[in-house]
Amino acid sequence: MLYSVRMRAAQGGAHAKGGKHISGAERLVSREVLTATVTTMLERALSHSRGAADFTNLTVEAVPVKAVQETACLPVTSVDVTDVTAGRAVAQAELIKAGVAPGAAVVGIEALAGLAGSLRGAMLADARTGARLDASGERGIRVSRMDIADEQAYLRWLNSQGYSNIHIQEAIVLASKVMSAPGVVAELCWSDDPEYTAGYVATPAGYTRFTHLKPYGSDIGGRIFFVKENTDLDQLVAYLKYQPVLIKVPAEEVCADAISC
């Protein structure tokens, strides 16, 4: 048995009552590390750079192992850019390369840049037009019930490439699940952490991180999933929200750090 652990933290009351979103986290863990995972999430909610939460919701749900799917971890590339304008230009090019129509890529970037407040989940957008497909408002579609299959191998793999912060550790896991979902062409995301300016474009070919996708000090972030025409949206949303998924680091990467394989 595994356990889905989900944390949502807000300031000024619950999200549903207008509270400001502070932090969220997702894990899919064994019983042995369940208590430690819950404690870590609570500490995160109380000491986040966006402020200390005064409302925290923690959910723990048992998940049968047989219900869990596995998918491969996306390869990671970093692109250094001088500023936000340059970052958004190359992110737009990456979206177009993945199959998002040029106009839709522009609409998507403008939609994130024009947010009045952070999305707690993701917008679904038509990959041809950029039009929003979901009706979830500021809540967005929350991707849930995912984790890395072998955490230590994953951290070694990331550290060997120079990636050590929690933002990228969590984002790659989420993006890998999203790219395994039916009908998703690409994802565009930047963080709501005011001190973290990087963002990324994920496609089935990989996760490309850009060093500047939003201004330093901005606490507004969000993500957009660009979706193919004629995708069954109910099926897609159900997969994103409810399908338990473990992400596997490539076997050769695990073996590279192991004593025997």
pLDDT in tens, 65-121: 999 999 999 999 999 999 999 999 999 999 999 999 999 999 999 999 999 888 889
CA-nearest of 202, 228, 207, 214 to 101 is 228
- Asked whether residue 61 falls in the same domain as residue 152, the answer is no
Domain's final residue, options 11, 37, 66: 66
Does residue 13 sit in the same domain as residue 101? no
pLDDT band of 261, cuts 50, 70, 90? very low
Give residue 9's pLDDT.
83
Mean of all residue pLDDT scores within the chain: 90
Indicate if 129 and 152 belong to the same structural domain: yes
Same-domain check for residues 123 and 149:
yes
**Are 138 and 232 in a shared domain?**
yes
Please give the single-letter amino acid code of residue 211.
T
Q: Which domain holds residue 7?
A: 2-66
> Cβ(213)–Cβ(91) under 8 Å?
yes
What strand order describes the sheet that includes 20-29?
20-29, 2-11, 55-63
Task: Specify the pLDDT at position 232.
Answer: 97
Verify that 55 and 184 share a domain, yes or no.
no
CA distance 10 to 56: 6
Same domain, 57 and 74: no
31 token code pair = 């019983």
Higher pLDDT, 42 or 67: 67
Give the pLDDT confidence score for residue 24 in this predicted structure: 80
Same domain, yes or no: 214 and 85: yes
Q: Across residues 17-45, what is the average pLDDT?
A: 86
User: Does one domain contain both 27 and 77?
Assistant: no
Residue 215 has pLDDT above 90, yes or no: yes
Position 205 confidence tier, pLDDT thresholds 50, 70, 90: very high
Q: Which two structure tokens, joined as six digits, stand for 242?
A: 């409810």
Q: Could you give the number of structural domains in the chain?
A: 2
pLDDT digits (tens, 9 = 90+) for 136-154: 888 899 999 999 999 999 9
Q: Are residues 132 and 93 in the same domain?
A: yes
Beta partners for residue 29, in sequence order:
3
Whether 4 has a pLDDT exceeding 70, the answer reads: yes
Judge whether residue 260 has pLDDT over 80.
no
Domain C-terminal end among 21, 42, 66: 66
pLDDT band, very low/low/confident/very high, at 1 (cuts 50, 70, 90): very high
CA dihedral of 194, 26, 205, 261, whole degrees rounded to 10? 120
* Position 257 confidence tier, pLDDT thresholds 50, 70, 90: very low
The answer on 77 and 52 residing in a single domain is no
Residues 103 and 213 in one domain: yes
The predicted pLDDT at position 119 comes to 84
What is the percent of the chain where pLDDT is above 90?
A: 75
pLDDT at 222: 93
Structure confidence by residue, pLDDT tens digits, 157-186: 999 999 988 889 999 999 999 999 999 999
pLDDT of residue 16: 65
Please say if the pLDDT value at position 258 is more than 50: no
Final residue belonging to a domain, choices 19, 42, 66 = 66
